[in-house]
RNA sequence: GGGCGAGUAGCUUAGUGGCUAAAGCACCUGCCUUACAAGCAGGCUACCGGGGGUUCGAGUCCCUCCUUGCCCACCA
């Protein structure tokens, strides 16, 4: 074994071995307690995508859970796949064609484009899948799906037809969100509102038949060409005399009415609003209420339409300038204020959304959404953390119809066919008859992803119902409504009122070191493949899982970014310029959180190397057997620690507390096993102690099983080198440990075995655990501390006197003498009872159970020792004061639970005892 | 505008009303002690964002303010 852990070869080897052995496919298992399969479908990443840090975090969670449940003996399945991502892919492929062949959408037919798109998909669509494999994901790749594969498409078209037949899908001429960049509609959820520094123009419209003007305020003067009314609040006294009158729309010289509507806020601006029903959602609704004419003055190309008269053909921006200029020339601009407001942008292309009237397909959402709300309220779907249930409930309360048609080519083409005589048919099978043609539009990507959990299991044909509903959906909170709510909706409707998953686990969003959103193009995005390259897949997974707390956001530290400083980074992001990141340090030091995880992997590797090397040297190792083993205090202690670790990690995983699980493993392996148990084992191993190497091997073996879901590669590599006690060819399918396994009771945590464990360790569990190896550990620490404070070289052998303050403590310390000698680097330990005289010329300290004296050769530095004792005393007195304050409060003694009061009293006794001892020492010093 | 989070050591974070607020990184001191210098031993560092309240007892619960992140929303 090499002295440093080298992850890459191991990762490659084990991944292909596991995959070939079929461990990632579901198989009937015998040991599951519940008998239920554990099923996940991954959120299908965009086929255009490459893995980003959010994915890496999400899939670390996925795979950790999968491997955990697989080891628990459950039939385990994870269906992977990719999403065709209609707009994103189309934009990407078009960009590519432009760059490589100089062709734009206009130069291509639908068929030509689709051919390019499929070629592109087949060539590059597997990138992200390969990256998931590099991370170690144990998904069933034989079931990999694509949202546009044949069966999936059938599911999509079937849903469309079914809803159409039930009247839940309809075609309508409505105001929709038009993205000029994508040349398509987008849904409400795909609009990103951004704060924009704009202006508020106050325009004066002359009232017909008077010499008055009415002033309207607007952020978009160019839309005034399409105004068909001016609205005021019915109770607004300022305008009552104008009710029923008309204004003459400037520039267009069109008479439009002054109407009244309670929607108008009399306190905003002038209290009068220009109404452009064809280009504003509110105005549209008002236009419908009042039967106003709707005049489209901006076209699909985001230029002024013919209805815009002399401005026709100008862009929105040009027209705005020209119109303001022309109005100003006529003295019709009252004033222009600076105004910050939010403007909807297309989340895909970044262009400003133009509300436009057009013929589109819609899903009637209201009645479909109601059962979803019910299911959530009745706790049939469980959100973790729970508060996220509200995100869905709020959305459904004010739900609006869903525009599902997109003017794109890449996607599921709407299965509506138009006949020669104006007939219309909806059909899952293509209609090829002469004279019929299909609707040109495709469906919103999210329409198809909404069917994911059941479509991938075979619906609408033969569905594998034994895997449904799935166990847990793991997602970021940004797509809770876009995707999660809609999956619940379709499942309740199409799969027999069944929910798609029991739990929705919302994981934190990864931010950069300053708490800012990560953006790959600007340089704050971190490439997980780079992390795997530098730190290894195990460390990357572990480091990320340590970040998975219940919080909303977690920060990913990048020292290169930190070096720039927060102000600089913010400025660059605001200006949308790539960060001038450079890193001259060691590659591993750039991301400290990952470096820590990598160091941990190396620590594990070396602990294993130590155990395995010794096992080899010592020769044939008998398996550890609790019945015949003669455990001393350290052996008992490590098994107890292991047992507690098993329970804690198991509970944490059941509760999705990945940070707790990871740090529990970390501290058990590093602090308990390596720092103490491996250390105390060394002298015994030098003496070729078979029992000790058996115990070490045993603890390591169980620990590797616990570690596997977090760090699958290194745990497998080590486990395979260990003498196998569990009947499995791979850790993937080895049994997940129960507390009884810590004690070598490998027959499963049956009642009998567990009872045996309780018999053997009952005394320990109930007794004050300090009176065991823990006391030895604390005593060692005090000795080391005294040695360092006295500036004695670590190599110098010392004598120590321990004054045990009870018989029990004396007994424990006497048993622990060999450990004290070794770990404290001592040549002699003298354990005496409380009535013995204290050594002279020594530095000392006091624990509740024992006084520690370190006699010094020659004279001690009285001044230094006095200062040290005073400091120690001060800290103890401070603690005592707190306890005293509590206990002297009659209210506390009266009202607090007796157990709490007793605890405080015991604490007071202990503190007082230590203080007395130190005070005596201090007086002797003087 | 509404809602949901976060603010704990220089940094990243644990902390479930009750042991003396925990860990890693960074920093300081000393060690290559034959598993690991990606290491070992020891140490320093916290008015737990400010203020008020509830309670015998608050980092933890309530109110309020400040800072900050996210989601939702049709105020021109």
SS3 A52: coil
Determine the Cα–Cα distance for residues A918 and A869; give it in Å rounded to an integer. Answer: 7
List residues bridging with A801 in a β-sheet.
A830, A853
Query: What mean pLDDT, rounded, does chain A reach?
Result: 90
How many Å apart are A755 CA and B29 C1'?
50
Q: Is A866 left (phi over 0), alpha (psi -120 to 50) or beta?
A: alpha
Share of chain A above pLDDT 90, in %: 62
Per-residue pLDDT, averaged over A853-872, amounts to 80
How many Å apart are A570 CA and B75 C1'?
30
Using 50, 70 and 90 to split pLDDT, how confident is the model at A415? very high
Range name among A48-57, A474-483, A630-639, A747-756 with the lowest pLDDT average: A747-756
Q: DSSP string covering A224-288, please? A: GGG--EEEE-TT-GGGGGGTT-EEEETTTTEEEEEEE-TTS-TTSTTSEEEE-TTS-HHHHHHHH
List protein-proximal bases of chain B (any atom < 7 A from a CB). 3-6, 11-16, 18-20, 23-26, 29-31, 33, 35-43, 55-57, 68-76
Share of chain A above pLDDT 70, in %: 96
Cβ-contact A7, A537 below 8 angstroms = yes
Using 50, 70 and 90 to split pLDDT, how confident is the model at A762? very low
The per-residue pLDDT for A109 is 95
How wide is the angle at C-alpha A37 spanned by C-alphas A58 and A155, nearest 5°? 70
Question: Strands (DSSP E) along A301-426, which ranges?
Answer: 333-346, 354-363, 382-384, 402-403, 405-406, 416-418, 424-426
User: Residue at minimal CA–C1' distance from B13?
Assistant: A547
Q: How confident is the model over A676-706, as pLDDT tens digits?
A: 999 999 999 999 999 999 999 999 999 999 9
Q: How confident is the model over A359-384, as pLDDT tens digits?
A: 999 999 988 999 999 999 899 999 98
Determine the Cα–Cα distance for residues A141 and A129; give it in Å rounded to an integer. Answer: 9
For A329-353, letters b (16+ CB in 10 Å) and e give eeebbeeeeeeeeeebbbebbeebb
Q: DSSP string covering A681-695, please? A: HHHHHHTT-HHHHHH
User: Measured between alpha carbons, how far is residue A887 from residues A495, A880, A901 in Å?
Assistant: 63, 10, 8
How many Å apart are A902 CA and B50 C1'?
36
Nearest nucleotide to the CA of A477, by C1', is B71
Cβ-contact A337, A200 below 8 angstroms = yes
Nearest to A518 by CA among A579, A565, A473, A594: A579
Using 50, 70 and 90 to split pLDDT, how confident is the model at A903? confident
Place of tokens 């655990």: A769
- What's the longest Cα–Cα distance across chain A? 115
Number of residues assigned to chain A: 926
User: Residue at minimal CA–C1' distance from B74?
Assistant: A282
How many Å apart are A746 CA and B44 C1'?
46
Res A840 pLDDT > 90? no
How many Å apart are A623 CA and B11 C1'?
46
* A858 DSSP assignment: S
The arrangement of strands across the sheet holding A333-346 comes to: A213-218, A191-206, A333-346
Per-residue pLDDT, averaged over A378-394, amounts to 89
How many Å apart are A714 CA and B43 C1'?
34
Per-residue pLDDT, averaged over A876-899, amounts to 87
Nearest nucleotide to the CA of A673, by C1', is B35
The per-residue pLDDT for A754 is 55
A264 CB-side CA count, 13 A: 24
Q: How confident is the model over A699-711, as pLDDT tens digits?
A: 999 999 999 999 9
Q: Cβ of A747: how many Cβ atoms within 10 Å?
A: 11
The per-residue pLDDT for A496 is 93
Per-residue tokens: A122: 């087949």
Res A752 pLDDT > 80? no
Cβ-contact A3, A606 below 8 angstroms = yes
Mutual orientation of helices A690-707 and A592-618 as an angle, nearest 10°?
150
Place of tokens 């039930």: A166
Using 50, 70 and 90 to split pLDDT, how confident is the model at A765? very low
Range name among A103-117, A178-192, A535-549, A582-596 with the lowest pLDDT average: A178-192
Query: Rounded to an integer, what is the distance from CA A282 to the centroid of its chain?
Result: 37
Q: How confident is the model over A588-597, as pLDDT tens digits?
A: 999 999 999 9
pTM of the model as a whole? 0.93
Using 50, 70 and 90 to split pLDDT, how confident is the model at A664? very high
User: Measured between alpha carbons, how far is residue A345 from residues A92, A376, A405, A520 in Å?
Assistant: 19, 31, 19, 19
SS3 A420: coil
Determine the Cα–Cα distance for residues A152 and A159; give it in Å rounded to an integer. Answer: 11
User: Measured between alpha carbons, how far is residue A852 from residues A315, A777, A830, A890 in Å?
Assistant: 86, 13, 10, 36
Res A767 pLDDT > 50? no
Place of tokens 């525009």: A403
Determine the Cα–Cα distance for residues A189 and A187; give it in Å rounded to an integer. Answer: 5
Per-residue tokens: A880: 């005592």
Cβ-contact A276, A247 below 8 angstroms = no
Tell me what ipTM this predicted complex has: 0.95
Nearest nucleotide to the CA of A875, by C1', is B20
Q: How confident is the model over A276-313, as pLDDT tens digits?
A: 999 998 899 899 889 999 999 999 988 999 999 899 99
Nearest to A823 by CA among A770, A782, A876: A782
Nearest nucleotide to the CA of A193, by C1', is B73
Determine the Cα–Cα distance for residues A852 and A789; give it in Å rounded to an integer. Answer: 14
Q: How confident is the model over A238-275, as pLDDT tens digits?
A: 999 999 899 999 999 999 999 999 888 888 888 899 99
How many Å apart are A879 CA and B18 C1'?
15
Cβ-contact A187, A174 below 8 angstroms = no
Q: φ, ψ for residue A505 (rounded to 5)?
A: -100, 115
Q: φ, ψ for residue A327 (rounded to 5)?
A: -70, -40
Nearest nucleotide to the CA of A670, by C1', is B36
The per-residue pLDDT for A31 is 56
SS3 A208: coil
Nearest nucleotide to the CA of A677, by C1', is B35
The per-residue pLDDT for A859 is 63
Q: How confident is the model over A298-353, as pLDDT tens digits?
A: 999 889 999 998 999 999 999 999 999 999 999 999 999 888 888 888 887 888 89
User: Residue at minimal CA–C1' distance from B4?
Assistant: A387
Determine the Cα–Cα distance for residues A846 and A804; give it in Å rounded to an integer. Answer: 10
How many Å apart are A407 CA and B75 C1'?
31
The per-residue pLDDT for A763 is 41
SS3 A517: strand
Using 50, 70 and 90 to split pLDDT, how confident is the model at A549? confident
SS3 content of chain A, % helix, strand, coil (to 5): 50, 15, 35
How many Å apart are A924 CA and B46 C1'?
35
Per-residue tokens: A521: 């193009």
Determine the Cα–Cα distance for residues A560 and A122; give it in Å rounded to an integer. Answer: 37
> Bigger pLDDT: A604 or A27?
A604
Cβ-contact A912, A904 below 8 angstroms = no
The per-residue pLDDT for A759 is 55
Using 50, 70 and 90 to split pLDDT, how confident is the model at A493? very high
List residues bridging with A852 in a β-sheet.
A802, A845
Determine the Cα–Cα distance for residues A574 and A817; give it in Å rounded to an integer. Answer: 65
Question: Strands (DSSP E) along A806-908, which ranges?
Answer: 826-833, 842-846, 850-855
The per-residue pLDDT for A446 is 93
Q: How confident is the model over A167-211, as pLDDT tens digits?
A: 999 999 999 999 988 889 988 878 888 878 788 899 999 999 999
The per-residue pLDDT for A32 is 60
Place of tokens 């290194």: A714
The per-residue pLDDT for A394 is 87
Cβ-contact A403, A174 below 8 angstroms = yes
Q: φ, ψ for residue A383 (rounded to 5)?
A: -90, 135
Per-residue tokens: A660: 């707790």
Cβ-contact A400, A189 below 8 angstroms = no
Cβ-contact A367, A290 below 8 angstroms = no
Q: Is A124 left (phi over 0), alpha (psi -120 to 50) or beta?
A: alpha
């Amino acid at each position: 074994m090499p002295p440093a852990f080298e992850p890459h070869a191991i990762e490659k080897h084990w991944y292909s071995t596991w995959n070939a052995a079929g461990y990632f496919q579901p198989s009937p298992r015998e040991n599951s307690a519940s008998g239920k399969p554990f099923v996940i479908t991954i959120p299908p990443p965009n086929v255009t995508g490459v893995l980003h840090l959010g994915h890496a975090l999400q899939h670390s969670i996925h795979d950790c859970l999968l491997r955990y449940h697989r080891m628990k003996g459950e039939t385990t399945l994870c269906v992977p796949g990719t999403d065709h991502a209609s707009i994103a892919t189309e934009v990407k492929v078009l960009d590519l064609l432009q760059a490589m062949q100089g062709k734009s959408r206009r130069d291509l037919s639908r068929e030509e484009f689709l051919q390019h798109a499929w070629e592109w998909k087949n060539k590059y669509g597997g990138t992200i899948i390969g990256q998931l494999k590099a991370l170690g994901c144990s998904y069933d790749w034989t079931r990999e799906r694509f949202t546009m594969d044949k069966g999936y498409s059938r599911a999509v078209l079937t849903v469309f037809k079914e809803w159409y037949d039930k009247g839940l899908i309809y075609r309508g001429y409505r105001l929709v969100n038009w993205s000029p960049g994508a040349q398509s509609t987008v849904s409400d959820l795909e609009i990103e509102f951004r704060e924009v520094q704009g202006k508020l123009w106050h325009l004066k419209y002359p009232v017909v038949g008077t010499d008055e003007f009415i002033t309207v305020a607007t952020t978009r003067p160019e839309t005034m060409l399409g105004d068909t009314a001016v609205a005021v609040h019915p109770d607004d006294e300022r305008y009552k005399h104008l009710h029923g009158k008309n204004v003459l729309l400037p520039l267009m010289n069109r008479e439009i009415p002054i109407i009244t509507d309670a929607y108008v806020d009399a306190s905003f601006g002038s209290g009068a609003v220009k109404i452009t029903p064809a280009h504003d959602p509110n105005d549209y609704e008002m236009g419908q209420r009042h039967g106003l004419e709707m005049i489209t003055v901006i076209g699909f190309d985001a230029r002024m339409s013919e209805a815009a008269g002399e401005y026709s053909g100008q862009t929105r921006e040009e027209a705005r300038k020209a119109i303001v200029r022309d109005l100003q020339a006529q003295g019709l601009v009252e004033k222009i204020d600076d105004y910050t407001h939010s403007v909807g942008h297309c989340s895909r292309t970044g262009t400003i959304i133009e509300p436009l009237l057009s013929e589109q397909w819609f899903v009637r959402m209201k009645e479909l959404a109601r059962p979803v709300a019910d299911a959530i309220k009745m706790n049939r779907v469980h959100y973790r953390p729970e508060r996220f249930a509200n995100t869905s409930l709020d959305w459904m309360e004010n739900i609006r119809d869903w525009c599902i048609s997109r003017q794109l080519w890449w996607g599921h083409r709407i299965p509506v066919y138009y006949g020669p005589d104006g007939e219309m048919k909806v059909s899952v099978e293509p209609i090829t008859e002469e004279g019929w043609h299909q609707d040109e539009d495709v469906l919103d990507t999210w329409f198809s992803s909404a069917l994911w959990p059941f479509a991938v299991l075979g619906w609408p044909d033969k569905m594998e119902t034994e895997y449904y509903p799935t166990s847990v959906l793991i997602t970021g909170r940004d797509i809770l409504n876009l995707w999660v709510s809609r999956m619940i909706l379709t499942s309740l409707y199409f799969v027999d009122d069944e929910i798609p998953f029991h739990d929705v686990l919302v994981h934190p969003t990864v931010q950069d070191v300053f708490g800012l959103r990560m953006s790959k193009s600007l340089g704050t995005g971190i490439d997980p493949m780079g992390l795997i390259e530098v730190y290894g897949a195990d460390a990357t997974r572990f480091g990320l899982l340590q970040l998975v707390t219940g919080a909303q956001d977690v920060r990913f530290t990048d020292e290169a970014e930190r070096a720039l400083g927060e102000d600089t980074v913010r400025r660059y992001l605001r200006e949308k310029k790539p960060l001038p990141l450079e890193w001259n340090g060691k590659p591993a030091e750039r991301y400290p959180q990952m470096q820590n995880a990598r160091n941990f992997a190396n620590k594990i590797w070396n602990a294993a190397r130590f155990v395995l090397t010794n096992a080899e040297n010592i020769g044939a190792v008998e398996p550890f057997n609790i019945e015949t083993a003669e455990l001393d205090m350290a052996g008992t202690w490590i098994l107890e620690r292991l047992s507690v670790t098993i329970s804690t990690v198991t509970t944490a995983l059941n509760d999705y507390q990945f940070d707790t699980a990871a740090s529990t493993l970390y501290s058990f392996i590093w602090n308990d096993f390596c720092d103490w148990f491996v250390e105390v084992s060394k002298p015994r191993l030098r003496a070729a102690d078979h029992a000790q190497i058996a115990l070490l091997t045993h603890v390591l073996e169980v620990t590797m099983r616990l570690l596997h879901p977090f760090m699958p590669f290194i745990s497998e590599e080590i486990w395979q080198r260990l003498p196998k006690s569990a009947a499995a060819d791979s850790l993937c399918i080895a049994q997940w440990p129960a507390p009884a396994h810590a004690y070598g009771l490998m027959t499963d945590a049956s009642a009998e075995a567990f009872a045996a464990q309780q018999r053997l360790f009952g005394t320990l569990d109930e007794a004050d655990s300090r009176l065991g190896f823990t006391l030895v550990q604390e005593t060692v620490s005090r000795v080391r501390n005294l040695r360092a404070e006295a500036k004695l070289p670590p190599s110098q052998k010392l004598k120590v006197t321990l004054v045990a303050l009870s018989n029990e403590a004396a007994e424990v310390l006497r048993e622990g003498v060999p450990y004290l000698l070794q770990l404290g680097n001592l040549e002699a330990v003298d354990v005496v009872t409380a009535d013995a005289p204290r050594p002279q010329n020594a530095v000392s300290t006091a624990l509740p159970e024992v006084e520690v004296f370190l006699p010094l050769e020659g004279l001690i530095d009285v001044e230094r020792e006095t200062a040290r004792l005073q400091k120690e005393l001060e800290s103890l007195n401070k603690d005592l004061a707190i306890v005293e304050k509590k206990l002297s409060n009659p209210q506390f003694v009266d009202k607090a639970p007796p157990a709490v009061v007793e605890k405080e009293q015991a604490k007071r006794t202990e503190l007082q005892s230590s203080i007395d001892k130190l005070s005596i020492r201090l007086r002797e010093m003087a």
